[in-house]
């Protein structure tokens, strides 16, 4: 059974993924924060990935890394720089030094957030980040390309939509990603024998999707869920009169906000940074 390191394991996406992959892999789970619950099949290692020594320590003796760790929303530059740029580099370089050949990097829809909602885009479009957070994800994709070409690592980048048991609003009807579809796509990233460097979209089979996800389908992705079954309920509760710029672009509120509430504050800190 392969040993898989999941950074950022205490976050929402990490929590869903740990549940879905339980029993399939030996999970080495890491975060700067404590986990609410650690399963008996998991090994928890606390780490601050902005410190290279921590990144080097947690990437030892694993078969693949799912790098979810970092600052997960638009926020101040210093926080994004340390967590998403320095931290991302540290994880890639530490994995390389430890001989880990495969990295699954969940990038973000915010790497392309300034495409309009009336456009359909694929994995080949030029990045159009909608903020500092989006820029950090473009950096991670570029870093993955470098490590794939220069060091023969196998890098699988997933531009995540929104991982949740159900879509939360009208925008997320287009980018919803169910936990079981997440697990399927991550498993492809871990197991597919012919990955060198790939970019795919981390979304379910949504009727309202903005993405041509044929590259994921080429690799065997067969999503099981579609946000359309929630559409009537979601649209009925949606409030009108949102910011016109946010409503125009795929990135939503990230296109106009300087910061949004941090869903994963560090212990002792408030939800907005």
- 133 is annotated as an active-site residue: yes
pLDDT over 80 at 229, yes or no: yes
Residue tagged 């580099």 (tokens): 89
Map 208-231 to HEC letters. CCCECCHHHHHCCCCCCCCHHHHH
| pLDDT for position 272 | 33
Catalytic pick from 71, 89, 133, 201?
133
Encoded tokens for 222:
């067969």
Phi-psi region of 243 (alpha: psi -120 to 50; beta: other; left: phi over 0): beta
pLDDT over 90 at 221, yes or no: yes
Encoded tokens for 132:
């500092």
Percent of the chain with pLDDT over 70: 96
In-domain check, residue 265: no
pLDDT tens for each residue of 15-72? 999 999 999 999 999 999 988 888 888 999 999 999 999 999 999 999 999 999 999 9
pLDDT tens for each residue of 82-136? 999 999 999 999 999 999 999 999 999 999 999 999 999 999 999 999 999 999 9
For residue 240, name the pLDDT band (cuts at 50, 70, 90).
confident
In-domain check, residue 260: no
Total number of domains in the chain: 1
CA dihedral 232, 234, 236, 240 (to 10 degrees): -130
pLDDT over 70 at 271, yes or no: no
In-domain check, residue 272: no
In-domain check, residue 266: no
In-domain check, residue 118: yes
In-domain check, residue 112: yes
**Considering the entire predicted model, what is its pTM?**
0.94
Question: Residue 141 belongs to a domain with what CATH number?
Answer: 3.40.50.720
For residue 266, name the pLDDT band (cuts at 50, 70, 90).
low
In-domain check, residue 57: yes
pLDDT tens for each residue of 173-196? 999 999 999 999 999 999 999 999
Q: Which residue range(s) make up the domain with 190?
A: 3-255
In-domain check, residue 271: no
pLDDT over 70 at 273, yes or no: no
| pLDDT for position 270 | 43
The CA-based diameter of the chain, rounded to the nearest angstrom, is 52
| pLDDT for position 133 | 98
């Amino acid at each position: 059974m392969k040993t898989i390191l999941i950074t950022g394991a205490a976050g929402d996406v990490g929590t869903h993924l740990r549940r879905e992959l339980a029993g399939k892999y030996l999970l080495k789970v890491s975060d700067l924060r404590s986990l609410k619950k650690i399963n008996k099949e998991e090994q928890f290692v606390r780490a601050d990935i902005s410190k290279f020594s921590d990144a080097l320590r947690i990437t030892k003796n694993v078969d693949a890394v799912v790098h979810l760790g970092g600052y997960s929303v638009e926020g101040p530059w210093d926080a994004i720089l340390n967590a998403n740029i320095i931290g991302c580099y540290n994880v890639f370089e530490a994995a390389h030094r430890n001989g880990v050949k495969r990295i699954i990097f969940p990038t973000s829809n915010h790497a392309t957030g300034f495409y309009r909602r009336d456009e359909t885009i694929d994995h080949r479009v030029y990045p159009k980040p909608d903020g500092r957070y989006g820029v950090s994800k473009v950096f991670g994709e570029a870093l993955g390309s470098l490590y794939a070409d220069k060091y023969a690592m196998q890098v699988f980048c997933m531009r995540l939509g929104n991982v949740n048991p159900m879509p939360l609003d009208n925008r997320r009807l287009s980018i919803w990603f169910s936990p079981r579809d997440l697990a399927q796509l991550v498993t492809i990233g871990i197991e597919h024998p012919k990955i060198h460097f790939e970019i795919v979209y981390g979304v379910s089979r949504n009727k309202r999707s903005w993405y041509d996800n044929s590259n994921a389908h080429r690799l065997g992705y067969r999503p099981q869920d579609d946000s359309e079954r929630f559409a009537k309920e979601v649209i009925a509760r949606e409030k009108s009169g949102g910011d016109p710029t946010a409503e125009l672009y795929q990135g939503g509120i990230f296109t106009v906000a300087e910061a949004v509430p941090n869903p994963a504050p560090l212990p002792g800190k408030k939800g907005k940074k």
